[in-house]
Structure 1
Amino acid sequence: MSIKRILVPLDGSKNSERGIEMAVDLANDAKRTIVGLYVKPTSVNSIKYGELFNAEQNRLMEITFHSAKTKCEKYDVKFIEETIVGDAKSSIVKYANDNSRKIDLIIMGARGRGSVKAAFMGSVSNHVLNKSKIPVLVVK
């Protein structure tokens, strides 16, 4: 199996940072491309709080992409930013399983930003691991 494109779901958490670091280490050896995917949750259905929520999500997304891009540039690894809106679990799987995207490997943190922690693994990484047609490397 030839690995050319690595999908790394990003959410600003320490575990997603470990995911991008692992991907950079792997990509650096063979000039692979990393696709950083940020899934923005559907906005709050409130005029008052919806704008604040969206602004905060955009701020966090920009910080997260900047950090990942900086790590990739340090080792001359190509980085592509992708953003989609929806549920993280299903959105990551749908994105990765789309053959037109040519994803060869998913590298993601064991847990993300969620406040509820699963016994061994976060619900998003567990879902992706079980539903993805693409190989998944979960880092802790």
Structure 2
Amino acid sequence: MKILLPIDGSDVSLEAVRVMIRLSKDGLATSAVLANVQEAATLYELVVAHDPAVIEQVSAAAGAHTLQPGEALLNEAGIAYETEVASGDPAHTIIDILERYGCDMVIMGARGMSTLRGALLGSVSNEVLHTAKVPVMIVKLVDASSEDSAIDG
């Protein structure tokens, strides 16, 4: 099973990697696609940089750096993976990566917004959950007093 793991550098996105590793250790044959989506450059950045290639290089380097902790976890667990750093709207780009790589599932973190705030602002995980044509597992971190994370599916 090929699993897409969107990584944004947050603790909860790395917890999603740990959940995937636990599934693999429990017997699920898995491989992963670690993905990071960098938001498109702003007009200010384009004007200041004078060269769009410089912005692309900086964005690609930032994305690769963000993926490193997830790569380290998967390397330690001996799980095969591919990486993708892309630019654009996070939710739509995640769906595009999901389809291009032929992933069977997405495991991703959620920031734990309140229902009202999530309804007003939307969220990447909520949009992926409702748009993806494959199962999406949303991982949340619980408070520091608990040792395990909670998993909502």
Q: Given the two structures, how large is their TM-score scaled by the length of structure 2?
A: 0.73
Q: Is the 8 A contact 2:41 2:55 kept in 1?
A: no
Unaligned stretches of 5+ in structure 2? 141-153
Bigger Rg, which one: 2
Q: Is the 8 A contact 1:9 1:37 kept in 2?
A: yes
- Secondary structure of the 2:18 match is helix
* Equivalenced residues, count: 129
CA distance in 2, matches of 1:60, 1:137: 26
Instruction: Specify the alignment match of 1:114 in structure 2.
Output: none
Alignment of 1:1-140 (within 5 A): 4-28=1-25, 29-45=27-43, 46-48=46-48, 55=58, 57-96=59-98, 98=99, 101-111=101-111, 118-120=113-115, 123-140=123-140
Q: Deviations over 1:93-129 (max 9, x none)?
A: 2322x2x522111000012xxxxx7314660000011
CA distance in 1, matches of 2:40, 2:128: 19
Q: Given the two structures, how large is their TM-score scaled by the length of structure 1?
A: 0.79
Name segments (4+ residues, structure 1) moved above 6 Å.
Answer: none
Unaligned stretches of 5+ in structure 1? 112-116
Partner AA of 2:136 in structure 1: V
- Secondary structure of the 1:34 match is strand
Quote the RMSD (CA, aligned, Å).
Answer: 2.3
Q: Is the 8 A contact 2:60 2:85 kept in 1?
A: no
